[in-house]
Structure 1
Amino acid sequence: MDVRAQLVMVFNLDKCIGCHACSISCKNIWTDRKGAEYMWWNNVETKPGVGYPKKWEDQKVFKGGWVADGKNLRLRAMGKGGTLLSMFFQPNMPKLEDYYEPFDFDYGNLYGAKEGNDQPVAEVFSQISGEKMAEIKGGPNWDDDLSGSPLYAAEDINLDDRKIIEEYDTMFMQYLPRICNHCLNPACVASCPSRAIYKRGEDGVVLVDQNVCKGWRFCTSACPYKKVYFNWNSGKAEKCIFCFPRTETGQCNACAHSCVGRIRYVGVLLYDAEQVEQALLKPDDQLVEAHRAVILDPRDESIRDAARKNGVSEQWLEAAEKSPVYALVKEFGLALPLHPEFRTMPMAYYIPSLSPVLSTLGDTHELAEHGTFPALEKLRAPIGYLASLLAGGNREVVASVLAKLIALRGYMRGRNLNEPADEAILKGAGLDEAAAGRLYRLFTIGGHDERNIIPPQQREEQDPHTRKGASGFGILKKTGRGR
């Protein structure tokens, strides 16, 4: 057993209001400089939609991530021969138009224009070339709130029935905030010929060594989530750093700190690195359960002892025990990985949205089952869509999560209205009264220090084998590209 610790983020999609406060705070801190204008390490997408960059989920186009090849994993589009042939050209990498050409407005013209008969305007110019642009053709959230648009929503690869977005009464929408997933089996790390990308042993954060990066851009092609960017000015790769200068001092990430809806939870997970490869060889519809099996119980003393041998401190073990992330991902099984079929084992998880609708009886509108929600198959966001997005197509996993969320709301609604609380609702979903109380607190009244439990760290105190040189797990070692 090779027990390691990872800082992890969970997103509650039921609470995201799409305000983009997270994106702006990240942008202002980390990518406000030349060459990074088009980079959004944190972005919020409208789903259904094509996302940013456009159609990033379609691996038939971009060929990112891993595929199970018998008893082994291989990068979808790369091997030794492919790497050599693509050294100076990346055929599967997004183009600038798949992101957007970064632009700004000539505000100086509003103040400095010469006197004339017309009102001066702030014309648009490219932040790359500096030349004026005839029109703006895209942006990081170009399809924001357009989940019914045939131009954008209809191109979402998770939709198995596009008629859903053509009728007003079946149309649905939700927001999907995204950061780098800091995966356990990162394709970006395995693909880098320069070995510039590495996974830190002490907290699992995936970083790019700017002094080593040669700008080959294999990392951008290999990442199925397209969360590695190329700085056209410096010629280096850049990506989300999980705000490690903040987390190292116990502060939460800028995106989580600024989140208006309080949808984000940050905490520690313990996992067995030896199980990662075998878990990823499972069929698509079994990946969620295999993923959960890799995560270990921080209260188990044998696991804690194994973690100590790997240099995990008592402070981190205590944080793992109190972690809201462990409760949501493993203990209650509510948070799911984004596109687990990409087989990178992402360490960012999502609680699926309920998107309820009201049932109609005659000329009146009445709330449905349990006084709140209709049956699972009648929820506005189809289970099939959520399963494609978060469960490798496994509808049963998603249905189980939604059943727990519905039961929790029904039970707590009854308590808050001083109505007889029916514990059978909870038991039917695999919960009890104590679990309902804990989840209710996490989802509603829990404070900042309950939603974000981040142990500070002193890197100089870390055991050397848990630092940069230990990022290559078995899978990466086989490719020869692990650090």
Structure 2
Amino acid sequence: MRIRAQVAMVMNLDKCIGCHTCSVTCKQTWTNRDGTEYVWFNNVETKPGIGYPKGYEDQEKWKGGWKLDSHGRLQLRSGGRLKRLSRIFANPDLPTIDDYYEPATFDKDILVNAPAGRTDTPVKQPYSQLTGEPMSVVWGANWEDSLGGATGLDDPNLRAVSDKVKFEFEKTFMFYLPRICEHCLNPACVSACPSGAMYKREQDGIVLVDEDRCRGWRMCVSACPYKKVYVNHATGKAEKCTFCFPRLEAGQPTICSETCVGRLRYLGIVWYDEDAVLAAASVPESELLDAQRSAFLDPFDPAIQQAARDAGHPEEWIEAAQRSPVWKLISEYRIALPLHPEYRTLPMVWYVPPLSPVLDAAGAAGRDDTDADDIFHTIDDLRIPVEYLASLFTAGDTAVAGGVLMKLAAMRSYMRARTLDGSVAQELLDGIGMTGEQVEAMYRLLAIAKYDERYVIPAAHARDAAALEAQAAAQTDCSLDCEGGPGMSDFHLPQQPTRRRLPINPIRGRS
């Protein structure tokens, strides 16, 4: 057994209001500069919807992630090493700028300098930030915001449930899905990189890019099934979410977590067995969720604690793993689920699925909203179909997705009864196999947890400080610590329209 620590995140989708604050603060922190105009390390999608880039979940088209070959062995969907090398100069599985969106800017001088006597209203003309030419804005990273299925029929997740889900106005459903890099245990981007520039940090599992070694082959973009690796068109280098590792090393949460209005994000440490990763990613599709959970190690097990000490992990990290909200939500309460486990990357950003107003739905159906059987039967009639959630989080297993929703519904009903008359709904507890103390602890974590309960991140250990500083100085620790990276350029608001500054778009070629 090789014990490793992984910084992981869980998002409670019931609390996301789609305000995009996380996206904006991430953009201002990491990608507010030339070459990254179209890049969003964090974006919030409306589901159902085709997402950003368009249709990124369609792996039949993009060939991202892993699959099992005819012998049951793990293989990249993009092909073996020889196949990838044969296409290194002409990779056909890359999204174009139209699949993302062409970023625009505006010549605001038209408004500021408009003559006072004009009888018409001056209008800002959008200009492409890539070519500098006039353009029409027809798509964007959050173009589907709150549309509730207007483009949902093109959502790959609806293929299996399209007969049941009808987009009639009164039946339309939607929810928000924030996305960042998954910092997977079995990252396809790392395996696909021909130059070895993509790597997974040994101390905390964060996946980064060594800019000095990156040659811009873009195989990492193809291999990532979540399409969370981007190419800076000004530098030709790959860039991606860094999990805000400089903040984590100081014991602070990621910027998206810190600024989240809904307080839906949880950060913590998870121990896992590195030797179990390959086996966990190679099981049949129906077993992937349990296999990944089985790779996680119990931080309260004395044998695991001693193994962590023997591996050189600081005592503070062992204590942080025991207080980790991520461990509780994934392995103790078992209500957090990974995004598309069928990609076999073993993602480490998990989600608590959204639960429709189940008590209201039970009442509307003439059922007793205090009866366990009535509540559990209502799960199948909720506005957000269980089949759709299963296609996102459990590789189509509706029993697992429904079981999570039942736990969340039982928690709501139990806490409601406790608040109203102090009663204990024992049949609800029996139905989900939890004690009253566990349900109340789960409620506290999901609903009213304080700052230090949501973010349990140990600061970089003192003895590692010198090594971390040396890595940063050598530019091998940060995917963006390079010319043109954050803080490395004299970024300022241009006096002239951006169209005069960026005449070349390497994504499309020269204009």
TM-score normalised by length of structure 2 = 0.87
CA distance in 2, matches of 1:297, 1:144: 39
Shift in CA distance, 367/240, structure 1 to aligned 2, threshold 3 Å:
farther
CA distance in 2, matches of 1:48, 1:125: 30
For 1:217-228, what aligned pairs fall within 5 Å after superposition?
217-228=218-229
Q: Determine if the alignment matches structure 1 residue 394 to structure 2 residue 397.
A: yes
Shift in CA distance, 360/10, structure 1 to aligned 2, threshold 3 Å:
closer
For 1:27-42, what aligned pairs fall within 5 Å after superposition?
27-42=27-42
CA distance in 2, matches of 1:463, 1:34: 32
For 1:319-398, what aligned pairs fall within 5 Å after superposition?
319-356=320-357, 358-359=360-361, 368-370=368-370, 373=375, 375-398=378-401
Secondary structure in 2 aligned to 1:10? strand
Deviations 1:192-233 (A, max 9, x none): 011011000101100011111111100000000000001100
Q: Determine if the alignment matches structure 1 residue 252 to structure 2 residue 249.
A: no
Q: In 2, are the aligned partners of 1:340 and 1:391 still within 8 Å (CA)?
A: yes
CA distance in 2, matches of 1:441, 1:108: 52
Gaps of 5+ in 2: 472-511
Q: Determine if the alignment matches structure 1 residue 445 to structure 2 residue 444.
A: no
Give the corresponding residue for 2:80. Answer: 79
Deviations 1:396-450 (A, max 9, x none): 1111111111111110011111252212201210211110121111112211110
Give the corresponding residue for 2:133. Answer: 131
Q: In 1, are the aligned partners of 2:271 and 2:296 still within 8 Å (CA)?
A: yes
Secondary structure in 1 aligned to 2:171? coil
What is the CA-CA distance between 1:130 and the residue it aligns to?
A: 1.4
CA distance in 2, matches of 1:252, 1:414: 35
Q: In 2, are the aligned partners of 1:68 and 1:280 still within 8 Å (CA)?
A: no
For 1:212-291, what aligned pairs fall within 5 Å after superposition?
212-291=213-292
Shift in CA distance, 344/463, structure 1 to aligned 2, threshold 3 Å:
farther
Deviations 1:59-97 (A, max 9, x none): 001000001223421101121221221111111111100
Runs of 4+ in structure 1 over 4 Å off: 364-368, 371-374
> Could you tell me which amino acid in structure 2 is paired with residue 93 of structure 1?
L
Q: In 1, are the aligned partners of 2:161 and 2:388 still within 8 Å (CA)?
A: no
Q: Which is worse superposed, 414-423 or 375-384?
A: 414-423
What is the CA-CA distance between 1:309 and the residue it aligns to?
A: 2.5
CA distance in 2, matches of 1:360, 1:266: 34
Q: In 2, are the aligned partners of 1:7 and 1:205 still within 8 Å (CA)?
A: yes
Deviations 1:309-342 (A, max 9, x none): 2221111110000000000000111100100000
Q: Which is worse superposed, 166-175 or 9-18?
A: 166-175
CA distance in 1, matches of 2:76, 2:463: 34
CA distance in 1, matches of 2:264, 2:307: 32
What is the CA-CA distance between 1:147 and the residue it aligns to?
A: 2.0
Give the corresponding residue for 1:407. Answer: 410
> Could you tell me which amino acid in structure 2 is paired with residue 132 of structure 1?
P
What is the CA-CA distance between 1:279 and the residue it aligns to?
A: 1.1
Q: In 2, are the aligned partners of 1:3 and 1:270 still within 8 Å (CA)?
A: yes
CA distance in 1, matches of 2:365, 2:219: 55
TM-score normalised by length of structure 1 = 0.92
Deviations 1:217-262 (A, max 9, x none): 0000000000000110010000000000101000000001111111
RMSD of aligned Cα (Å): 2.1
Shift in CA distance, 264/360, structure 1 to aligned 2, threshold 3 Å:
closer
Q: Determine if the alignment matches structure 1 residue 97 to structure 2 residue 98.
A: yes
Q: Which is worse superposed, 79-88 or 181-190?
A: 79-88
For 1:177-216, what aligned pairs fall within 5 Å after superposition?
177-216=178-217
CA distance in 2, matches of 1:295, 1:28: 34
CA distance in 1, matches of 2:261, 2:292: 30
CA distance in 1, matches of 2:426, 2:256: 37
Q: In 2, are the aligned partners of 1:208 and 1:237 still within 8 Å (CA)?
A: yes
What is the CA-CA distance between 1:114 and the residue it aligns to?
A: 4.7
What is the CA-CA distance between 1:360 and the residue it aligns to?
A: 8.1
What is the CA-CA distance between 1:463 and the residue it aligns to?
A: 11
Q: In 1, are the aligned partners of 2:62 and 2:93 still within 8 Å (CA)?
A: yes
Secondary structure in 2 aligned to 1:247? helix
Shift in CA distance, 378/365, structure 1 to aligned 2, threshold 3 Å:
closer
Q: Determine if the alignment matches structure 1 residue 119 to structure 2 residue 118.
A: no
CA distance in 2, matches of 1:380, 1:102: 35
Q: Which is worse superposed, 385-394 or 162-171?
A: 162-171
Shift in CA distance, 225/201, structure 1 to aligned 2, threshold 3 Å:
same
> Could you tell me which amino acid in structure 2 is paired with residue 184 of structure 1?
L
Deviations 1:89-120 (A, max 9, x none): 11111110000001122212211235643222
CA distance in 1, matches of 2:367, 2:24: 38
CA distance in 2, matches of 1:168, 1:426: 36
Q: In 1, are the aligned partners of 2:47 and 2:149 still within 8 Å (CA)?
A: no
Shift in CA distance, 402/109, structure 1 to aligned 2, threshold 3 Å:
same
Give the corresponding residue for 1:153. Answer: 152
Secondary structure in 1 aligned to 2:178? strand
CA distance in 1, matches of 2:4, 2:81: 30
Report % sequence identity: 49
